[in-house]
Structure 1
Amino acid sequence: MSKIDQYIQAATRDNTRQSYQAAVRHFEIEWGGFLPATADSIANYLVEYAETLAINTLRQRLAALAQWHISQGFPDPTKSPVVRKVFRGIQALHPAKEKQAKPLQLDQLEQVDRWLASAIESARNEGRRSAELRYVRDRALLLLGFWRGFRGDELTRLQVEDVTVSPGEGMICYLSQTKSDRRYQGTSFKTPALSRLCPVDAFIDWVHTAQLTSGPVFRAIDRWGHLSEISLHEDSLIPIFRSALHAAGIEAANLYSGHSLRRGFATWATANGWDLKTLMEYVGWKNIQSAMRYVDVADQFSQQRIEHSLGKSAPIHQLSKP
């Protein structure tokens, strides 16, 4: 690979590169399309999957096919009028309701933390090294993911040497790359030490128990208690979270995902008086639309607000009198 190719590859995020490659394979292998493609074949491809794939998935497939053609020096067929009209038609006939992860509430976080603390103590007393490591790791994942509002990929990219801990005060997590950091400037996230459910104590316990001095913070653990040299894959976080929630007795654990921690913190912060600007700065959102997707207000039907206003206003039948 040439230096130019290395820098071009580095400019594209791993997740994006992998999803684009999968999209091109789907077009060629599963659907049987040919590259370079014509506008008509792209349109027919969209029609084939209009009722089975989500709008955002189809949009991502178009972006991948566009990128392939441009990188190979061919005209981009996805920008043709027929493709654009077909895509708008699919949006009109198959409007998508965005699926969102169920937010993890604070009392649920406490319930899971109590279960994990008990499981850690039992594993240590019984000398079950592998179980101890998993429980300590999972506790650090949950508490840091919640209180810092981290995405799953940010948790898996965290490096031991990029975390600075001040016991009793807090810790600073440096990430060289985040989803919103388009210029690769790196971002430092401050995490406070808390009197309970403390992410700093959980992190210290994990690093000490696993004897980590460098490399990925969160790693896979085999049945014998051996730690992997590489970080957990982002996709492995969902079964880890759901397993802990299920074991702790949280109902409908399968409705939660890695985003549940981020949404849970945003919902908790909003309910406790954080204004949107403060929340955006803390979590790292760059625009209001991104932030609002994660916030579940406590009074989601505005019942309390309306009832409060009704108490101050005159009855409706009085307002109708001349």
Structure 2
Amino acid sequence: VRKMLRGILELHPAQEKRAKPLQLAALEQTIAHLERERELARQQARFADLLRHTRDKALLLIGFWRGFRSDELARLDIERIEAVAGEGMRIHLPRTKTDRSLKGSTYKTPALSRLCPVAAYLDWLAVSGLSSGPVLRGIDRWGRISEEAVNAASIIPLLRRILKSAGIDDAHLYSSHSLRRGFASWASANGWEMRALMEYVGWKNIHSAARYVESQDPYHRAMLERLLPQQTAALGTPDQAEP
């Protein structure tokens, strides 16, 4: 069977599809849109919309700054999160994709002066009134919050709807991995060493990390231009050159 599968891959090689990374500018645009919609919903007493926009803001900021996948976002639990306004938050996940020992992992996230995931999380708890159970939940048209966590598979269409409503181009090209790739690319472009980035996100090997980092120079043009000589030496003497 292994030989047959290998033969199929050789005859029909498939190019790996990667989610479009969410750039910081697009994140800022989307958060600004959600904040405007939140304030409008508050003024017009549309509680369901206020809840939805507040939840979506928390989803985006936690997902981006922690580089979480959709399954990790769906498993966020209030009892396993410690958050202090202006300082940071600790998020414990009882299991992760790379956790072979099933001991769980704890992720630390700092409070930021803007686009703050800690403030967005605490705001969501305050508006929703939640004190236990799943963090991210479904909300119906009447503003009733589900007792269950959102399904991991529903986060991708939810993310695309949020981005499309904020006017982000090609929203259909984004997925939950876009948050992870966006953060990794932003951190790498701003001087994070790969080892520090791997430790922060939770990657176990360099190959996994490299798949998520979107280079600022995807064709390595700048590096190759530096290596090129300033002027290519002519092949032969001038009198030997063809007219």
* TM-score higher than 0.5: yes
Partner of 1:221: 139
TM-score normalised by the chain length of structure 1: 0.72
Report the Cα distance in structure 1 between the residues aligned to 2:119 and 2:227, rounded to whole angstroms: 45
Report the Cα distance in structure 1 between the residues aligned to 2:91 and 2:136, rounded to whole angstroms: 13
- Give the counterpart of 1:123 among 41, 45, 63: 41
What SS class does the counterpart of residue 301 from structure 1 fall into? coil
Matches within 5 A, 1:144-183: 144-183=62-101
Partner of 1:259: 177
Partner of 1:316: 232
Report the Cα distance in structure 1 between the residues aligned to 2:178 and 2:2, rounded to whole angstroms: 34
Residue 85 (structure 1) aligned with residue 3 (structure 2): yes
Inter-CA distance 321–169: structure 2 relative to 1 (3 Å threshold):
farther
- Structure 2 counterpart of 1:145, which letter? G
Cα RMSD of the aligned pairs, angstroms, is 1.3
Report the Cα distance in structure 2 between the residues aligned to 1:93 and 1:187, rounded to whole angstroms: 40
Partner of 1:295: 213
Deviation at 1:86, TM superposition (A): 1.8
- Decide which structure has greater helix share: 1
Partner of 1:105: 23
- Structure 2 counterpart of 1:316, which letter? T
Matches within 5 A, 1:271-282: 271-282=189-200
Residue 212 (structure 1) aligned with residue 135 (structure 2): no
Structure of greater relative contact order (alpha carbons < 8 Å, 6+ residues apart): 2
Dislocated runs of 4+, deviation >4 Å? none
Residue 230 (structure 1) aligned with residue 129 (structure 2): no
- Give the counterpart of 1:136 among 47, 54, 62: 54
Partner of 1:53: none
Report the Cα distance in structure 1 between the residues aligned to 2:210 and 2:138, rounded to whole angstroms: 33
Answer with 1 or 2: which has the greater Rg.
1
TM-score normalised by the chain length of structure 2: 0.94
Partner of 1:304: 222
- Structure 2 counterpart of 1:262, which letter? R
What SS class does the counterpart of residue 82 from structure 2 fall into? strand
Report the Cα distance in structure 2 between the residues aligned to 1:308 and 1:115, rounded to whole angstroms: 42
Deviation at 1:84, TM superposition (A): 2.5
Deviation at 1:307, TM superposition (A): 2.2
Deviation at 1:321, TM superposition (A): 6.7
Report the Cα distance in structure 2 between the residues aligned to 1:85 and 1:154, rounded to whole angstroms: 35
Partner of 2:240: none
Deviation at 1:316, TM superposition (A): 1.8
Deviation at 1:195, TM superposition (A): 0.9
C-alpha distance after superposition, 1:121-156 (max 9, x if no partner):
001111111111110000000010000001111111
Partner of 2:188: 270
Report the Cα distance in structure 2 between the residues aligned to 1:286 and 1:222, rounded to whole angstroms: 39
Inter-CA distance 268–321: structure 2 relative to 1 (3 Å threshold):
farther
- Structure 1 counterpart of 2:224, which letter? I
Deviation at 1:120, TM superposition (A): 0.5
Report the Cα distance in structure 2 between the residues aligned to 1:307 and 1:92, rounded to whole angstroms: 35
Q: Percent identity?
A: 54
- Structure 2 counterpart of 1:170, which letter? G
